[in-house]
Amino acid sequence: MSEAELERSTEGSSRIHCHSCGAELTYKPGTDHLECSYCGAQNEIDQLGMEIEEKHLHDFLHNIDRPVQSVQVILCQGCGADNPLHEQKLAENCLFCGSHLMVKNVHELEQYQADALLPFAKNKREVVLLWDNWVKNIWWAPNDLKKMGNGTDGIRGVYIPYWTFDAKAETHYTGERGVNRTVKDGDKRKTVTDWYPASGTVWNEFDDLLVLASNSLPKKKAHQLSPWPLNELVVFQDQYLKGFSVETYSESLKDGFENAQMRMKDDIRANVRMDIGGSKQRIHHLDIRWSDERFKLILLPIYISAYQFKGKTYRFLVNGHTGEVQGERPYSFWKIFGAILLTLTIILILYLAFGS
C-alpha cells in the first residue's frame, strides 16, 4: 500500500488510514478504490485473480467444522433488529426503525463470512435528492412531511445479507389434461371439459435465486428494490465495507433454502402445467429429484432512513446500486377527506344542473 497503512483497532476490525493526513479511508461508491475525504488520497481495491465461490449446500450443512466468526450486535427493543455494535458510536438510534438503542442489549452472534457483495454505486448526496423527489411526488402526503428535510445524517448505507441458491430439478408427474369443447344445451351453447390422463417428466434449472436473509426490512419493499445486477458481484473484501454498516443475517441457511425451494416448486408446477397442455390442468403427484444444490451468502447495498412522523416510524429504502426507491409513507386524512368532499360537491352540482 503506497497511500495508506493497515491498522487493527481495539475492537479487532481493520481500518485503513491515510498516510498524508491520518484520516480513515472509506470506500467511494461507484469506484474500485478507497478515498480520503480530507485530502483525496486513494487506495485501489485489487480483485485480480479472485473468483466467487459457490458452496455445495448439503456438504456445507453437514460439515461440523464450518468457518464462522463472532460478531457483536445490539438488539433493538423497538423492532427486534440486530444493529452492528460499532454503529452505537455514531448514533443512538436503530438503523431500521429509529428507536433508541441501549448498550445493555449487546450480544454475540456466530456468522458465516459473506462470499461476495455488490458495491455501492450511489452516494449519499444522490440519495438525498432521490428522497426529496420521492416526497414531492407522493399523493396525499401531509404538508409537514414534504417540508421535512431528511439530510445525509438521516440516511445510512447498509449492506443487507441475502442467500442465493442454485439447483437442478428432475420432476416426474401424473395428472390430467382438460380439453374444452362447446356443446348445445337447448337453444344455448355451453362449454364442457373432457379430462384425459397425463404424465411425464420436466426439468428445471435455477440460478442465483435470491432469498432475503434479513427480518429487519419490510419484505415487500425490499423485494421491490429489484432487479439487482448480480453479474456485477465481486469477491467479498473488507475494504468495500469502509464507511458503511453490515447487517447480520437472521434467516439461517437451512431456512433460506426451504424458502427458496417453495418458490422453485411454484416454477416447477408452472412448467408441469405447460407440459400437460390442454385448456385446463390437474396435477395429482410430483416426484421432484433435486441435484447440484449450491449457495452463497452475498451482501447487497441499501440506503435506509427510518424517520419518525407524528409518533409513527416509516422507512425509506434505496437500492444503493441502481437508485430504485421504495418507501413507507403517512397519508393526510384532511387531504383525502377534502378530495372526497370536493368530488361529492361536483357530482351534486352536475346532478342539480343536468339531472332534472
Q: Model confidence over 226-264: pLDDT tens digits?
A: 999 999 999 999 999 998 999 999 999 999 999 999 999
Q: How many angstroms separate the CA atoms of 77 and 104, rounded?
A: 11
In a domain, 226, yes or no: no
Cell numbers for 52? 466467487
pTM: predicted TM-score of the whole model, two decimal places: 0.81
Q: Is residue 97 part of a domain?
A: yes
Q: Which three cell numbers stand for residue 48?
A: 485480480
Task: Tell me: do 75 and 107 sit in the same domain.
Answer: yes
Summarize pLDDT for 261-303 with one digit per residue, the tens.
Answer: 999 999 999 999 999 999 999 999 999 999 999 999 999 999 9
Q: What's the total number of domains in the chain?
A: 2
- Mean pLDDT, rounded, for 129-158: 66
Are 2 and 39 found together in one domain? yes
Could you give the CA distance from residue 318 to residue 311 in angstroms, rounded to a whole number?
23
Note whether residue 80 is domain-resident.
yes
Residue 140: predicted pLDDT: 54
What is the spatial distance between Cα 222 and Cα 225, in angstroms, rounded to a whole number? 5
185: in domain: no
Other beta carbons less than 10 A from residue 291's beta carbon: 9
Average of per-residue pLDDT across 301-321: 82
In a domain, 7, yes or no: yes
Contacts of range 254-261, beta carbons closer than 8 Å, 24 or more positions apart: 254/61, 256/163, 256/165, 256/211, 256/213, 256/295, 257/57, 257/163, 257/165, 257/211, 257/293, 257/295, 259/211, 260/163, 260/165, 260/167, 260/206, 260/209, 260/211, 261/167
Domain-embedded: residue 247: no
Q: Is there a domain that residue 319 lies in?
A: no
Q: Which residue has the higher pLDDT, 223 or 310?
A: 223
Is 33 part of any domain?
yes
Split at pLDDT 50, 70, 90, the class of 15 is low
Length of the chain: 356
Task: Determine the structural domain holding residue 98 and report its residue range.
Answer: 68-111
